[in-house]
Structure 1
């Protein structure tokens, strides 16, 4: 039995308490990063740097956490969602408070972009993992509710940060929202684990092994398995935990030449296990649907994230500053993203809807809206396009759902980490590229044409790779020994 064997997903009960805690965790962690477009003009005015350099702050805070997703997922696997969320609360709050004392953009890139970004990445991995553990039949709805926390946070924080800057200045604003982020530790208390984390299993196995030593000496080949049993039943990540738990040297093996042999044996087994783990991770990239999803998320992140950061600056560059209402464009993007996450999450639970095609459709809609932004010359037009981009950007609630469908729940953390790496890389590159386009042309037109084209390319790529005709061709190639003369012969042979 796998060390990670746990209770069946509850689809309710305490799971709803976990949903509320995860929602609040994403709300507190992502509130400021999702509304960083409000802080961006303030940083431009304070530090007098170029738009491309200053944009690195907003891109890193969203991109670093996703790029580090493989590491964040490994932390959740080993330590559990609760300790990871507590630690992330310290990182997010500390990074925000440290940013209040930033003397230049370079320091801000570290404190706000990297420290806060890594903290957000840990929160994201922890909340999505424990949500998928608690829900099965209603997983799409559950993920939609949880990920809506980032959108609601972005909507409320955008308005709140505007008011806090007026009342207390930029430094006071960052200190206050940093203090609010400390409540992440309280959210972690409700994340009761269904699966025992790997670190706990290793410590428990080590303790039991130590207690048994005075009475029973384990066989020398404790880790050897017979064909069809043991290692083949264990997932690769669980096999790593088993090796760590069993390969603790006994008191008798700590002396002399035998101790050296025992250490060499442990090193070889660990190397083999980690090699299998890396190969299993690389196998995901051989899956056509998964690889197409990685490319689509990269192109989507490259093109769709810059509007969140630059939308307010676009309105100001077009001379529409006098028309700006109490609710910023960033808030419109945030609230419509929340609506999109809930709506798309519920649509994914409908059996006859293909979630991959649904995701591809959201990319096509986002790309079209981005191409229309340079054409719009009114604030109302920017509001409408911001709402469209925000709604389709709610497809982030579909990523974990689609990943589970492609690779299964057991491999979700590994595959999701790879997927988020591609997304984070796109988010990290997008805003600086758009900023450089503006510095070069003194206009956002070419930048948004580039963004819209990238997102459209990602949607078309995913749609074409997900067509069922590829699977039919593969099935025909797998049986070259059978020659079909008519469709009737093919149907008869299959029957």
Structure 2
């Protein structure tokens, strides 16, 4: 590798400090805002459709005339699969696929699964096509879109991620109501084609997530006397390196050098060859081979931490809140509300869902409320609100109770990554969060199935919601163990 030198004079005083290194340089803006739009729309589409599972459930019950427990498996597997898909996505990335390729592949597979779902003759096939295949493919798009967004920003990362994640709440507000309107006009089979069109747009969003351009960086040491001997501008630019304002002096350098010398960096873009495109598929925190992927889960102390298991099972019982997305429209219809009002209840659930996540961050970061204490209080609030659902017989009371449940449940989504860092430490956060997501995915699949079976046996939503409240109460008891550990100083700050 040779560098272009604009000054033809020999420069024997310039010494190499480091060997050339290949790295990715986030633009921190520019095309990154197009990637931010892609992440926003990906979250809008995926979360909006999964939030519509309750509305779709009613249509599928009319279409196939099956039991509610059997039909609810479709939506529960789709939602749970979105939590289990993270590890599969990491494997694709370890095989040198780019985030763009993963998102576009997910768009094709999920669109094909929705089209196939329009022609299946029974619920069993629909569980396979729309539930399992659709859920796992959407997980890849969801994971990659949010990861690649973080790769494009540094100082503005929090803002960009906040904008991107807000698409989930917007989708949860808009799509359940629009899905109900589509079902009433086109029927469920026709709506599957519209859903396929939404999923196919993931290819457009994926195409916007182009890989970062890799650059070669090398650091040089240049004596002050040589720097002063350059031409009339007196700038190292004349030596073919970088502009004057990017010079790193001895006080800025990580290495100690004599005060009469300066450290400068040479940054040069390299051709976007196949090898470099593979490099740009990864962020600094994404595993680039199977050995590194294995090392993420190799923290042995994590598996001997009893408080980690306590946290896992606490969130397993917390996950019962997601099943309410599926059963709220059915309950609304059972108390005399129409299906459009049932869809509006889910939209309100989604609106509070978005605002509550911001509120949780304010309570923890600005009011300095302990995360464990806040989570335990939210579980208690969610338990009481679920138990109160059978007493809500009007649209206003159903909406009010749904808003309280949504606030209590959605704050846990924001707090779970913070609690993992508190229990395990930052260095084990990635592995711990992957395991926690899988545990939550189990809850997303199991609870709708259990509550559906109970409803088929009792034909009573009151019994179903009381059972859900009992599950959450077990989570409250487990959270007391975390509160005790927090008081004893067992966690990281």
How far apart, CA to CA, are the structure 2 residues paired with 1:344 and 1:5? 39
- 2:125 match: secondary structure: helix
1:337 aligned onto 2:353: yes
1:71 pairs with one of 88, 93, 118:
88
Higher-Rg structure is 2
Report what 2:196 is aligned to: 178
Query: Per-residue deviation at 1:149?
Result: 2.2
Aligned to 1:51: 68
Q: State the Cα distance separating 1:60 from its structure 2 match.
A: 0.5
Q: CA deviation at 1:375?
A: 2.4
Partner residue of 2:401?
Answer: 385
Q: 1:84 Cα deviation (Å)? A: 1.6
RMSD across aligned positions (CA): 3.8
2:384 to 332, 349, 368: 368
Moved more, 110-119 or 10-19: 10-19
| Secondary structure, aligned partner of 2:66 | coil
Q: How far does the alpha carbon of each residue in 1:349-375 deviate from its partner, in whole angstroms, 9 at most, with x for none?
A: 438243444333333322221111122
- Aligned 1:124-143 pairs, distance under 5 A: 124-133=142-151, 143=161
Q: Which residue pairs with 1:91 in the alignment?
A: 109
| More off after superposition, 437-446 vs 134-143 | 134-143
Q: Distance in 1 between matches of 2:361 and 2:311?
A: 17
Residue 156 of structure 1 is matched in structure 2 by 174
Scaled by the length of structure 1, the TM-score of the pair is 0.72
Q: Deviations over 1:379-421 (max 9, x none)?
A: 3211111112222332323434544565566655433221110
Bigger drift between 421-430 and 442-451 goes to: 442-451
Matches within 5 A, 1:180-195: 180-192=198-210
1:23 CA displacement: 1.7
Shift of 1:123: 2.3
Q: Which of 324, 337, 343 lines up with 1:307 in the alignment?
A: 324
Alignment partners' CA distance in 2, 1:14 and 1:464 = 47
| CA–CA distance in structure 2, aligned partners of residues 177 and 239 of structure 1 | 35
* Higher mean C-alpha displacement, 53-62 vs 408-417: 408-417
CA distance in 1, matches of 2:156, 2:380: 27
Q: Paired residue for 1:168?
A: 186
Give 1 or 2: higher helix fraction. Answer: 1
Return 305-314 or 157-166, whichever deviates more. 157-166
Q: Does 1:25 align with 2:42?
A: yes
1:325 maps to 341
5 Å-filtered alignment, 1:397-412, equals: 397-403=414-420, 411-412=428-429
SS of the equivalent of 1:321 reads coil
Instruction: List per-residue Cα deviations over 1:436-493 (Å, max 9, x = no partner).
Output: 1111111011221121222233244235314455654799xxxxxxxxxxxxxxxxxx
Distance, in Å, in 2 between the alignment partners of 1:429 and 1:414 is: 23
With over 3 angstroms needed to count, the CA separation of the structure-2 counterparts of 1:326 and 1:463, relative to structure 1, is closer
1:102 to 120, 140, 143: 120
Instruction: Name the CA distance, whole Å, in 1 between partners of 2:191 and 2:334.
Output: 25
Work out the CA distance in 1 between the residues paired with 2:420 and 2:26: 18
Measure the CA separation in 2 of the matches of 1:5 and 1:412: 27
Indicate the residue corresponding to 1:199 in structure 2.
none
Number of aligned residue pairs: give it.
410
Equivalents in 2 of 1:419, 1:391: separation in Å? 21
User: Bigger CA drift: 459-468 or 377-386?
Assistant: 459-468
Q: Distance in 2 between matches of 1:343 and 1:474?
A: 24
Structure 1 or 2: larger strand share?
A: 2
Distance in 1 (alpha carbons) for counterparts of 2:339 and 2:132 = 34
Separation in 2, partners of 1:354, 1:80: 38
Q: Kindly state the Cα deviation for residue 287 of structure 1 after the two structures are TM-superposed.
A: 3.4
Q: Which moved more, 1:408-417 or 1:46-55?
A: 408-417
Structure 2 Cα separation of the partners of residues 473 and 39 of structure 1: 45
Q: CA deviation at 1:161?
A: 1.4
Query: What secondary structure is seen at the aligned counterpart in 2 of 1:68?
Result: helix
SS of equivalent residue, structure 1 residue 79 = coil
165-174 or 15-24, larger mean C-alpha shift? 15-24
Between the aligned partners of 1:417 and 1:130, the Cα distance in structure 2 is: 18
Q: Which residue of 1 aligns with 2:374?
A: 358
- 1:214-260 Cα offsets, whole Å, 9 max, x none, are xxxxxxxxxxxxxxxxxxxx999567458xxxxxxxxxxxxxxxxxx
**TM, length-normalised to structure 2:** 0.72
Cα separation, 2, equivalents of 1:474 and 1:173: 49
